[in-house]
Chain A
Amino acid sequence: MNTFKKAALVMALLGAAACTNPDRFGENGGANGPGGANGGIDTSRLDPATPEYFNEAVGNTVNFAVDQSTLSPTAQAVLDSQAQWLMANPTYVAIIEGHADEQGTREYNLALGARRSAAVRDYLVSQGVAGSRLRTLTYGKERPLAACSTEACYAQNRRAVTIISAGSAGVS
């Protein structure tokens, strides 16, 4: 539980940096540039070939508009970096989680999350990542990142997260 909460906090910080307050973490905060988000965390000592680097320096999350699965230019820039990383680190595979905010019925949100994860997968494939290394997963509205019921939280919850792991475990 504690480790989960800590991870959620880091991700929440990344989410906040990505969409609400780019100045909060200094010049290089936010997921807006092709360099990706680092959320103010010092990534200079991270090994660029690790999932930690991917999560914190490249940025593992992209966000979506209400009831949409189209990729914004901001999201595409993050995914360009993800694709570069995946191609530079061919021993890793990824599961792409699609999530929705709570403003929708459970079943529809599962399908919407699947659409979002597939949009990310298709984009990464279009950038040269082998489709066999990617698998999609939907959580619908079951795993919000931010628990409040305002648009500020909903914006963070409408997301696709690229989860990196070594080898082919979990990917068929």
Chain B
Amino acid sequence: MRFILAFILALFIFIPAVSAAEPLRIVIDNPNIEPMPFATPAFQAETPAANDYAARISRVVADDLVGTGLFREISQDAYISTVSSFASPIQYADWRAINAQALITGAVSVDAGGRLVVKFRLYDVFSGAEMGEGLQFVGSTDAWRRMAHKVADAVYERITGESGYFDSRVVFVSETGPKDNRAKRLAIMDYDGANIQYLTDSSSIVLAPRFSPTGDRVLYTGYETGFPQVYLLDVANVGRRALQLPEGTMSFAPRFAPDGQTVVFSLTTGGNTDIYRLNLNSGALARLTNSPAIETAPSFSPDGSQIVFESDRSGTQQLYIMSANGGEPRRISFGTGRYGTPVWSPRGDLIAFTKQAGGRFHIGVMNVDGNRERLLTASFLDEGPTWSPNGRVIKFTRETQGAGGAPSLYSVDISGRNLRRIRTDNAASDPSWGPLQP
């Protein structure tokens, strides 16, 4: 967080290899997807100081890829070839023999300035050719995990044709203490749960942080004054301020617009909750809904022109879409049960939501017009979806039942596959997945 990172991308000399074989490709939408087997020999340490990092970096690269559910790592025990140097030619037959479709090699060094240099190459084993160009990342040694994530993102992008999500962070609420007096702190971590840092103390309740589009700021709901209010926090220096809102109101459920300057949230006056929009620069406040029902959980479309939100104006919680300037909304959810916390996907094609039906909670997705509802999860309490930067994965909160019940963070593919718990030291809730870092 605090380290300044300047990644320098350098292209190696690239000699295109001619091949007639099918290019290595994972089509993520394929419903019968088989994880692609790959091999990652431990990256070579090219300088003594790199010894501490090389094997750890290749381990993170492999974990990133396996964690997608799209790749399967071949055990190093099965390797026939050893890769003695980054420059040595690849013995494709040895990798074909163990059915490695993709091979990732890498080398790590620490340069004279103490900076970590990570190089990698990706090979399409069955085509007998390098896939794309070798890439090199340079950064501080503190940032070794980020450089590993960048390698994995590049591999993912070359093989799936879609951008990755490994070099990204998640802001969430870390929870300790008993269920009836939970202490909550804002925390930030790498997408995989590593490098947790705390942004607030636990002296007052904090809820539902939301990243800005560039990940430099966070909106959240805090009880510092004793009353719920929306706060804006600067991630770099942890400075925070309450949004300037009318005296005596309560505010919560904030979210940024794609422009990073406009925010929407719920504001409650006289017991009635409606959606408002605030310009952070001018302080101009506009009311976007005006009904005696509960309107909350607004989320912008990626182009900023529309807002999806939940309302119980029909008698139960349902999802609606309105113009970013307010006006008459159209209802998009019509199934049985209650629908809340809609979040527009970064690709613009889907709305993720929380659904309550039959005494269970689900995370689901539907098309923007409300068609093709698919429930991805089911449990005692699942809620609060957040999208990966590429719109392929959803993280959410799953809370267990009973007096000792506690929340944890989970992720699931939009196909409903690859449900995983994200390991955190403490109980954790309300994830907000930030952008891919530059």
Using a CB–CB distance below 8 Å, which chain A residues touch chain B? 1, 4, 8, 69, 95, 102-108, 110-112, 114-115, 117-119, 121-122, 135-139, 142-149, 170, 172
Contact = CB atoms under 8 A, between A and B. Distances in A.
A135 B266 CA distance: 18
B268 A111 contact: yes
A124 B221 CA distance: 28
Given A107-B253, A108-B317, A121 B266 contact: no
B226 A170 contact: yes
A106 B253 CA distance: 9
Interface in B169-184: 178-182
24 contacts: A4-B181, A105-B383, A106-B341, A107-B296, A107-B341, A110-B221, A110-B228, A110-B252, A110-B268, A111-B268, A112-B294, A114-B268, A114-B271, A115-B272, A115-B273, A115-B294, A138-B228, A138-B250, A142-B207, A143-B181, A148-B403, A149-B380, A149-B402, A172-B248
A contacts with B: majority SS: mixed
Contacts of B226: 95, 137, 170
A146 B180 contact: yes
A106 B430 contact: yes
A126 to B, nearest CB: 14
Interface in B297-325: 297, 310, 312, 317
B361 to A, nearest CB: 8
Contacts of B297: 105, 107-108
Nearest to B359: A103
Interface of B: 178-182, 205, 207-208, 221, 226-228, 247-248, 250, 252-253, 266, 268, 270-273, 294, 296-297, 310, 312, 317, 338, 340-341, 354, 356, 380-381, 383-384, 399, 401-403, 405, 430
A110 B271 contact: no
A137 B180 contact: no
A85 B34 CA distance: 70
Contacts of B208: 106-107
B248 A138 contact: no
**Which of A103, A114, A137 has the most CB atoms of chain B within a 10 A radius of its CB?**
A114
Nearest to A146: B180
Given A102-B399, A107-B266, A146-B180, A121 B294 contact: no
A105 B384 contact: yes
A106 B182 contact: no
Contacts of B399: 102
A149 B401 contact: yes
A67 B305 CA distance: 32
